[in-house]
Structure 1
């Protein structure tokens, strides 16, 4: 018995296990029976992870293998520090967009084809949605450490650029078609030539702008990641603001060129442009479908973008009506819409990244409710409430600066009353507060339903922000007009 017992011991205090493996006596978790159980459990888990879901995101949504113990928790001032410069730059870009939009009212093509005004919110919203969802997806990947592999990084990027190009052409076509439909519904005159002009302008602007802004967005994310800056804080506001001014400039010159061609009897030019974009669409679809990173988004990511386009088109009808009554309103429309969209896109992107890091898609702990009270959304000690307070603190100083720049730059052509600033700031604060509150609910609701928020929440939020901004800005001018009438009667 003694010899047999000793044979199971080696000189280092190890004993032979089954199959000749050497196992430490003290580590009972590494015994062969336990190893087999763990391997069996691991294989079962891997098998479950491979099963695709129709709502899967472009990447497999499971919590990262690393822990977040070494990560630095963001504070109020760290968020302010990282967000200030991007928001200032984006705000100045939106000021430029507002001034530019105000000047477009005097262009012949915008006077003769007033339907283009209806198209503007949908087209600007489309560009913002595509670039901000792209930025949100890229930021999540960067924050999860998935850009460490250069080959995987560029495979992800190229697939997403093809995806955005495909989405831009299709939604650009739909935006123009819906705009033409709105013109008929509202009993306005809509000629065939104007309809062709709208479709060609929308598709051309959407395609070219998506390529330019997609490349810029990719560069911002890569640069931010290498500089150890959270891409969630900088990518979406810059992408959105550049999208507005880029799309507006492209739309104006493209519309002018196509309009001149049609007037000179060259109707074939916009028709060739439409045909070219339609013929290239299958190529972008093929590239996107061949890329495992973007296959699911192409297949299941249309509803949010199309829904946002419809909301923005309705906002365009409101904008056309408001601009016909208040000429100065157009100068402030891109600013109030842009700042609201930028702030809520930052919150949505950060919420999505937090969920990706902590939980499996479709699962939330019982102590994390989907619907919370506004007080908890803004005044609790939770990280999302801290972020909301930080972002909300930008509204008043930001709008004071940007509205002041617009009024100063357009001195003589824009007049405001003493009531304008308080009414305008109240409207902007209400808009952003509503958007930040909805962002928490819709992001957690989408996650619980197994839908990747990176692909779904931002289009809804920015479209809702555009509609709220246009409506509230119109109310501001109505209040000012009513106050003037009361004062004159007195």
Structure 2
């Protein structure tokens, strides 16, 4: 849906008259009818905007009484740029760690761990970015300013993250084992290996969620204290730190459990991890702020994993055909996804708090921020000679063009999805980011491979690894 006539859109939700506790973000059963009517009214009003040819700077649908102050776009670049640069450095470090892990004994003996890595990182990344977006909204709504509510939100969200991470870890472990059977039908596998994969996945997922969950909650509370908008920094920080922490913990837990692979030790660890799910689930169920999230939001997380698997198949098909694909793809799609998640998180906060977002200014600012961050990345890989790339003008221009296109697509997807899910009655904080990151995984990989093919076929830049492979065989 296009909104050609307005840069600002304000949506209204019901007011909570309970002065003792800030309003919950997720509606309860008794509010469903009322909220459905409001969402229908919102959709009708948004439709009216399409035919509105007024020259007003913004559109306000309801009274502005008791509205929070609008967020200032001029602080976006100042606050978000450092976190984006850190996220790129984190992506590069994560890539180097994955390269190092290829030579570890645990990965050489159990090659299915390489299948587990992208699945687990995708699932865990979405969970932590959802937490960052959700907690940022709570911060901007002022819910963290009230002591009992702040403690309840922290405990509830951390317990919810444990439930989600343990389930995600089990899914990732079983899925990677099953994919290993499919891709290597003649290999010898056993029940113990499946338990080993699943236990390693669940342990690393649980511990990394505990570390990152506490870190994200503390970061957002500090942002609130110093009047920094967490929407601008939380998602990139969750993305950059999440991959590194999860990688290290997975390698550590897999190394420890490998010595006991042929025993029931992994099975006992799996049963202990499985038994923690109902315990943390009970904590979530008794928490009024996150109770409704216990069974919500699973569909986008699972579907995002399936969509990202398509990107993984493409990456595997071309990673040995073109130079730099393994190095450039994570940063290309990771940075675009971080910029899109910032935008989606800001829009979601505006929808919840009934404030206005200057879409054009925010989009242009985020697009512009992509340039210096990509420059930092290119300088790093050029200075250290990473990827064995042919650094010429055509390569730099092509890569920057792709990065700008990916960022623009990601911003548009984030905006459309946030408004669409809100009109459908779903909280964008729990639904948008998984679909957003999965979509850009596929789009970014296709664009990068297509441009590398074009550069090689025209002779503008030799991105092919054919010559290198031939020399290796000789």
Distance, in Å, in 1 between the alignment partners of 2:256 and 2:454 is 39
C-alpha offsets along residues 150-207 of structure 1, whole Å, 9 cap, x if unaligned? 1110101100100000000101111222233334444555523543333223212211
Aligned to 1:300, what secondary structure does the other structure show? coil
Aligned to 1:339: 335
Aligned counterpart for 1:416 among listed residues 390, 395, 408: 390
Matched, 1:310 2:306: yes
Equivalent-residue separation in structure 1 for 2:430 and 2:386 (angstroms): 44
Give the structure 1 partner of residue 30 of structure 2. 51
Partner of 1:392: 367
Name the counterpart of 1:356.
Answer: 352
Q: Are 1:429 and 2:429 counterparts?
A: no
Equivalent position of 1:291 in the other structure: 287
The 1:54/1:111 distance shift into structure 2, 3 A limit, reads farther
Cα deviations across residues 353-402 of structure 1 (Å, max 9, x unaligned)? Answer: 1111228xxxxxxxx9xxxxxxxxxxxxx712211111111223212211
Per-residue deviation, 1:426: 2.2
Q: What is the Cα deviation at residue 477 of structure 1?
A: 4.2
Match of 1:14 in 2: none
In the other structure, the counterpart of 1:195 is: 194
User: C-alpha separation between the residues in 2 aligned to 1:172 and 1:404?
Assistant: 36
Displacement of 1:74 in angstroms is: 1.8
Q: Are residues 73 and 102 of structure 1, via their aligned partners in 2, closer, same or farther at CA, if it must alter by over 3 Å? A: same
For 1:420-459, list aligned pairs within 5 A.
420-459=395-434
**C-alpha distance in structure 2 between counterparts of 1:301 and 1:459, whole Å:** 9
Distance 1:189 1:182 in 2: 13
For 1:104 and 1:115, locate their aligned partners in 2 and report how far apart those are by CA, in whole Å.
13
Q: Does 1:149 align with 2:146?
A: yes
> Contact 2:323/2:389 (CA < 8 Å) preserved in 1?
no
Between 290-299 and 95-104, report the one with greater CA deviation.
Answer: 95-104
- The one-character-per-residue Cα deviations of 1:429-482 (angstroms, maximum 9, x if unpaired) are 222211111111111110001111111111111222233333334444444544
Partner of 1:114 in structure 2? 111
Please report the RMSD computed on the Cα atoms of aligned residues, expressed in angstroms: 3.3
Segments of structure 2 that go 5 or more residues without pairing to the other structure are 1-16, 36-41, 43-61, 467-474
Q: CA deviation at 1:91?
A: 1.8
Aligned residues: 413
SS in 2 for 1:416: coil
CA distance, structure 1, for counterparts of residue 112 and residue 310 of structure 2: 13
- Once the two structures are superposed, residues 97-122 of structure 1 have per-residue CA deviations (whole angstroms, 9 ceiling, x without a partner) of 12222333333433443333333222
Q: Which segment is superposed worse, 138-147 or 101-110?
A: 101-110
Within-5 A mapping of 1:241-280? 241-262=240-261, 266-280=262-276
- The equivalences for 1:42-81 within 5 A come to 51-53=30-32, 67-68=66-67, 71=69, 73-75=71-73, 77-81=74-78
Q: Classify 1:260/1:330 alpha carbon distance in 2 versus 1 (closer, same or farther; 3 Å).
A: farther
TM-score (norm 1): 0.76
1:301 aligns with 2:297: yes
* More displaced 10-residue stretch of structure 1: 148-157 or 316-325: 316-325
Distance 1:430 1:283, change over 3 A: same
Residue 228 to residue 485, structure 1, CA distance change in 2 (3 Å): closer
Residue 288 of structure 2 aligns to a residue whose secondary structure is coil
Distance 2:129 2:63 in 1: 23
- The aligned counterpart of 1:129 is 126
**What residue in structure 1 maps to residue 222 of structure 2?**
223
Displacement of 1:254 in angstroms is 2.6
Give the direction of change, closer, same or farther, for the CA distance of 1:400–1:260 in structure 2 (3 Å limit). Answer: farther
Query: Within 5 Å, which residues of 2 pair with 1:83-122?
Result: 83-122=80-119
Instruction: Report if the CA contact (8 A) 1:119-1:176 is conserved.
Output: yes
Say if 1:463 and 1:486 are closer, same or farther in 2 by CA, change over 3 A. closer
Corresponding position of 2:443: 468
> How far does the alpha carbon of each residue in 1:47-77 deviate from its partner, in whole angstroms, 9 at most, with x for none?
x987144999xxxxx99996347x25523x4
Q: 1:486 to 1:170 in 2, by over 3 A?
A: closer
C-alpha distance in 1, partners of 2:344/2:305? 19
Q: Counterparts of 1:400 and 1:486 in 2: how far apart (Å)?
A: 19
The separation in 1 between residues aligned to 2:171 and 2:402, in whole angstroms, is 31
Q: Are the structure 2 counterparts of residues 168 and 422 from structure 1 closer, same or farther at C-alpha, using a change threshold of 3 Å?
A: same
TM-score (norm 2): 0.78
Q: From the CA coordinates, give the structure whose radius of gyration is larger.
A: 1
Unaligned 5+ segments in structure 1 are 1-41, 57-61, 360-367, 369-381
